Structure 1
Amino acid sequence: MINVEDFVKYLKNINIDFFTGVPDSQLSSFADYVEENCENIIAANEGNALAIASGYNLSTGNYPLVYLQNSGLGNIVNPVTSLTHSEVYSIPVVYLIGWRGQPGVHDEPQHIKQGAITLDLLNLLDIKYTVISNESNFDELKEIFENDFINQLNCGKSVAVVVSKGAFEEYKIKKENNNILSREKAIQTIVDFLSEKDMVVSTTGKSSRELFEYREELKQGHGNDFLTVGSMGHSSSIALGVALNNPNKRIFCFDGDGAILMHMGSLALIGSMKPKNFHHVMFNNSAHESVGGLPTIMSDIDINEIILACGYDKVYNAKSIDELKDVLPKFIEDNGPVFLNIDVNLKSRNDLGRPTTTPLENKLDFIEKLRS
């Protein structure tokens, strides 16, 4: 395993001292260290991070590092091929990529395809890479930089360190907020207020896992819920497509602050389309809680004003169970698009399970329920 402090100190010695990206659970030790000790920008999405990194390189001549889960490679294909590539602006970048869905390593279904094509995709993008694992050591990684990667960067080309599970030694910083309400309790409370005909599209991460487990506890089945296990930031657009084509059903989107920030243009589209059956819920802990808990910028902006400016009819807010129970009847009965901002804490159960149905089974059950 590699000590993150040794790695980052070495990077700084070779003028790689600016970090930006989107947190990933397999990079949590690295991300925690740079958040506490370095110039670090947690970007809205991976493409944004690469653009920020490009601006840094243009301004300083130094090499930036962009960290991301391999699922985020899709978000950077365009800026890699049309901005940073050596055949365009030749902007050198160091990528640190968490390898989810690595072949031969058990992982969740949404990571399997991306994991299988990760290295092929890097080859297609002309990004030279090395893979580190729990058997790697710092001296080996340093040698790769000194014998190859630094020369690649000096020639205007990008390089990548692909990180397998357990490659970094543990490093954690304390993360918390002052909110009293848990996301799981908020989800359970909303579900209790929904009718048998109401449909839910839930975002990736622990929100969908908590929703699935509560349906199991209630023995309700899962046909009312589309669990967006991947494609972070797109749940609201999926819900919009469902709402527009099922005007006689209320459609609820269970969203997270990190997911909303990732693709905020969807808010303007929802507001402009004005589906009357669209009910948007944000569980706001101002953090990427499902992948380590590093902060988002949600606490720095006025999301209520943004939502209204995008064309939503109303915004509701809740910080406690009592407040939530008070606003839910109005929120549910209002014509959409309406938005409910619920402040929640960073806590989740250590024994939180994962969906026991496959994504395909979930899709088919959801379709059947929609048509009933």
Structure 2
Amino acid sequence: MIKVNEFEDLLKKNNVGFYTGVPDSQLKSFCDYIEDTYGISDKHIIAPNEGNAVALASGYHLSTGNYALVYMQNSGLGNAVNPITSLTDPNVYNIPVVYLVGWRGQPGVKDEPQHVKQGAITPDLLELLDIDYEILTEDTQIEDIEELFKNSFAPKLSEGKSVAFVVSKGAFESFKTEKSNEYTLTREDAIKVIIDNLSLDDIVVSTTGKSSRELFEYREEKGHGHSNDFLTVGSMGHSSTIALSIALNKPQKKIVCFDGDGAILMHMGSMAMVGSKSPANYFHVLFNNCAHETVGGLPTIMGDINIGEIAKNCGYKNVVHASSAEELNDVLPSFLSQEGPVLLIVDVSIGSRKDLGRPTTTPVENKLAFMKKLDE
């Protein structure tokens, strides 16, 4: 098991001077340590998506000659493939990057359905990208990594080649930090208020992470069934575009998208598509806690921008705001009666119930029930 402070010391000794990426629960100890040590600064930027992180790492190397580390869940390799193959590759600009990749869906380790395929292909994908990698496990010691840098990784980086650490569960020792914000309304309670204001004819497309889990549990509690909801268990940042396509193809139905700030930021171009197509039946709900809460609570940049003005300039008809259950109950009737696309921003706290469950239906079962509901 590796102590995160020792790992970071070793990185610095090998000319790694900048950290960027998208947080991952498998890398929580490391990400928390980096944020606790450097905050958000010229040494550390939390990127909206993994492709952005590769670009930031490239700019750092071009301007300093040193190396950057990009951290991500292995699902993020999908977002990073384009700049890896067309920017940093030795046959293009030959820019060296150190990757730290959380291995979700590792074969032989129980995980959620959305991680299984990516977990199985992660080593093959890195090989296909010509990125040499080392798997870190709970048995890995810092001395092993020192030898790896000396004998393999440091020479490769000096030649412009990229390298990767693939991190198994339990490879890093725990590093505890507490994350919170100023808001008291929980996302789960906000979801309950919204569901109580919808009819059983209304359709919900919910984003990846705990939002979908909380929605599923409240439907169970209410005895509603789950056919009204498409639970986007993976594909972070794409729920709003799924909802857009459904809204365009089912104009007689009210389509409500439950979104998160990290998800919106990851693929913000989707808001421009929504505004451009301007479906009247599209109702976008942003649960904003300014954090990647599902994977540990590190901050997003949502607090630094005006997402409401961005939505309006993309073509959304209106933007409304709520920061408490009372405000949410007050604005919902008007919000849901407006002509879309419209955006509701709900400020919520960081955190969730310790005993929060997971959907008991499979993704395919969810899909089939959902499609049947859409045809009613």
TM-score, normalization by structure 2 = 0.98
State the shift of 1:17 in Å. 1.6
Work out which of the residue numbers 283, 289, 304 in structure 1 matches 2:308: 304
- For residue 329 of structure 1, what is the amino acid of its counterpart? P
Work out which of the residue numbers 351, 358, 361 in structure 1 matches 2:362: 358
1:235 corresponds to 2:239: yes
State the shift of 1:265 in Å. 0.5
- For residue 29 of structure 2, what is the amino acid of its counterpart? S
4+ long deviations beyond 2 Å:
none
State the shift of 1:366 in Å. 0.4
State the shift of 1:173 in Å. 2.1
Once residues 77 and 142 of structure 1 are traced to their aligned partners in structure 2, the CA distance between those partners, rounded to angstroms, is 28
Work out which of the residue numbers 284, 288, 301 in structure 2 matches 1:280: 284
> Identity over the aligned pairs, expressed in percent?
65
Structure 1 residues 253-264: aligned runs within 5 Å: 253-264=257-268
Secondary structure at the residue paired with 2:230? Answer: strand
Residue deviations 1:70-129, cap 9 Å, x none? 000000111000000001000000000000000000000000000000000000000000
In structure 2, the partner of 1:167 is 171
State the shift of 1:175 in Å. 1.2
1:98 corresponds to 2:98: no
Work out which of the residue numbers 211, 225, 245 in structure 1 matches 2:229: 225
- For residue 369 of structure 2, what is the amino acid of its counterpart? D
- For residue 105 of structure 1, what is the amino acid of its counterpart? V
- For residue 48 of structure 1, what is the amino acid of its counterpart? N
Structure 1 residues 267-346: aligned runs within 5 Å: 267-346=271-350
In structure 2, the partner of 1:250 is 254
Once residues 157 and 251 of structure 1 are traced to their aligned partners in structure 2, the CA distance between those partners, rounded to angstroms, is 46
1:81 corresponds to 2:85: yes
In structure 2, the partner of 1:41 is 45
Once residues 351 and 101 of structure 2 are traced to their aligned partners in structure 1, the CA distance between those partners, rounded to angstroms, is 26
- For residue 324 of structure 1, what is the amino acid of its counterpart? L
Secondary structure at the residue paired with 1:349? Answer: coil
Equivalenced residue count is: 372
- For residue 183 of structure 2, what is the amino acid of its counterpart? N
Residue deviations 1:121-159, cap 9 Å, x none? 000000000001111111111111111000110110000
Once residues 360 and 14 of structure 1 are traced to their aligned partners in structure 2, the CA distance between those partners, rounded to angstroms, is 46
Once residues 211 and 295 of structure 2 are traced to their aligned partners in structure 1, the CA distance between those partners, rounded to angstroms, is 12
- For residue 23 of structure 2, what is the amino acid of its counterpart? P
- For residue 8 of structure 2, what is the amino acid of its counterpart? V
Question: Structure 2: where are the runs of 5+ without partners?
Answer: none
1:157 corresponds to 2:145: no
Residue deviations 1:318-348, cap 9 Å, x none? 0000000000001111110000000000020
Secondary structure at the residue paired with 2:72? Answer: strand
Moved more, 163-172 or 33-42: 33-42
State the shift of 1:174 in Å. 2.1
Work out which of the residue numbers 106, 113, 123 in structure 2 matches 1:109: 113
1:26 corresponds to 2:26: yes
In structure 2, the partner of 1:133 is 137
- For residue 283 of structure 2, what is the amino acid of its counterpart? H
Secondary structure at the residue paired with 2:194? Answer: helix
Secondary structure at the residue paired with 2:248? Answer: helix
Once residues 146 and 171 of structure 1 are traced to their aligned partners in structure 2, the CA distance between those partners, rounded to angstroms, is 27
In structure 2, the partner of 1:6 is 6
Once residues 17 and 139 of structure 1 are traced to their aligned partners in structure 2, the CA distance between those partners, rounded to angstroms, is 21
- For residue 34 of structure 2, what is the amino acid of its counterpart? V
Secondary structure at the residue paired with 1:17? Answer: strand
Once residues 244 and 11 of structure 2 are traced to their aligned partners in structure 1, the CA distance between those partners, rounded to angstroms, is 44
Once residues 145 and 233 of structure 1 are traced to their aligned partners in structure 2, the CA distance between those partners, rounded to angstroms, is 35
State the shift of 1:171 in Å. 0.6
Once residues 2 and 360 of structure 1 are traced to their aligned partners in structure 2, the CA distance between those partners, rounded to angstroms, is 38
Once residues 157 and 14 of structure 2 are traced to their aligned partners in structure 1, the CA distance between those partners, rounded to angstroms, is 11
In structure 2, the partner of 1:207 is 211
Secondary structure at the residue paired with 2:105? Answer: coil
